[in-house]
């Protein structure tokens, strides 16, 4: 075969291979939504669409990538984890986002949860206390073209991010000993917050709703998150 024809054939093979890889991830993603998310009762169409849209494999470290759509949390380095897909879906469904909100996301980690939020809200401010992970989150979000709607900030999110407050919604992805007062101060009226609260080993996912000056709390599920560090977290 002449070199030009061989080159063309190689290129065609690479294109077919990349296409098969992408469509393979897409079908894994659809299966994950059907078997883990829809099957457990998540019915908000916008949430289901966001979970089908965001390529989770882009947020999972290479050594764990083949497990991207498994029904469990996965290590992302520095002793931290990317949450189980169902937990992300449940948390964002509880925020009841319509598309225009400004959301504070605490514990950026890999950036996956922030990416899902960005598909559902107007603007996301995502804080991460570990500088290396803040960089990873920014890189991952940049790779899938989400940095126009997500701002990654490196710092202690247990006291929120007051320069950009108030927030229509606050999502906390690390377990707090109690509800941080400063987060409540930065929550808009009306506004909603989801946060795991409890001991280091066992927590409940609380949904806090502020409406017409009143704050109410309900428990969505029992859960186990990594600890929230910082001023209003575990020291």
Write out the residues near ligand SAH by the rule CB under 6 A: 76, 80-83, 106-107, 109-110, 112-113, 127-130, 133, 156-158, 173-174, 226, 228-230, 233
Question: Closer CB to ligand SAH, residue 107 or residue 198?
Answer: 107
**Residue 83 annotated as catalytic:** yes
The minimum distance between CB 200 and ligand SAH, in angstroms, equals 13
CA torsion sign for 35, 40, 43, 44 is negative
Question: Closer CB to ligand SAH, residue 61 or residue 166?
Answer: 61
In SS3 terms, 156-215 reads as CHHHCCHHHCCEEEEEECCEECCCCHHHHHCEEEEEEEEEEEECCCCEEEEEEEEECCEE
The two structure tokens encoding residue 180: 């941080």
Question: Closer CB to ligand SAH, residue 113 or residue 192?
Answer: 113
The minimum distance between CB 220 and ligand SAH, in angstroms, equals 16
Question: Closer CB to ligand SAH, residue 38 or residue 64?
Answer: 64
3-state secondary structure of 223: strand
Tell me how far apart the alpha carbons of residues 54 and 4 are, in angstroms, rounded to a whole number: 38
Alpha-carbon distance values, 22 to 16, 17, 46, 74, 225 (Å): 10, 9, 22, 21, 31
Tell me how far apart the alpha carbons of residues 133 and 109 are, in angstroms, rounded to a whole number: 6
Which of 68, 83, 118, 159 does the annotation list as catalytic? 83
The minimum distance between CB 158 and ligand SAH, in angstroms, equals 4
Residue with the CB atom nearest ligand SAH in the bound state: 107
The minimum distance between CB 109 and ligand SAH, in angstroms, equals 3
Active site amino acids: 83
């Amino acid at each position: 075969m002449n070199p030009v024809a061989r080159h063309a054939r190689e290129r065609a093979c690479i294109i077919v291979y990349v296409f098969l890889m992408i469509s393979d991830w897409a079908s894994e993603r659809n299966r994950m939504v059907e078997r883990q998310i829809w099957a457990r009762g998540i019915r908000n169409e916008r949430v289901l669409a966001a979970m089908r849209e965001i390529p989770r494999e882009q947020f999972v470290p290479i050594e764990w990538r083949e497990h991207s759509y498994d029904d469990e949390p996965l290590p992302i380095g520095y002793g931290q984890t990317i949450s189980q897909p169902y937990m992300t879906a449940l948390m964002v469904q509880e925020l009841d986002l319509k598309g225009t909100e400004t959301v504070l996301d605490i514990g950026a980690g890999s950036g996956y949860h922030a990416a899902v939020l960005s598909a559902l809200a107007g603007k996301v401010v995502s804080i991460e206390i570990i500088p290396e992970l803040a960089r990873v989150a920014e890189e991952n979000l940049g790779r899938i073209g989400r940095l126009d709607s997500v701002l990654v900030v490196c710092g202690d999110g247990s006291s929120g991010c007051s320069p950009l407050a108030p927030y229509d919604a606050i999502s906390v992805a690390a377990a707090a000993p109690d509800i941080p007062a400063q987060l409540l101060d930065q929550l808009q009226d009306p506004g909603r917050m989801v946060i795991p609260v409890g001991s280091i080993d066992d927590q409940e996912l609380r949904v806090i709703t502020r409406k017409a000056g009143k704050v109410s709390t309900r428990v969505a599920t029992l859960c186990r998150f990594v600890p929230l560090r910082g001023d209003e977290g575990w020291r």
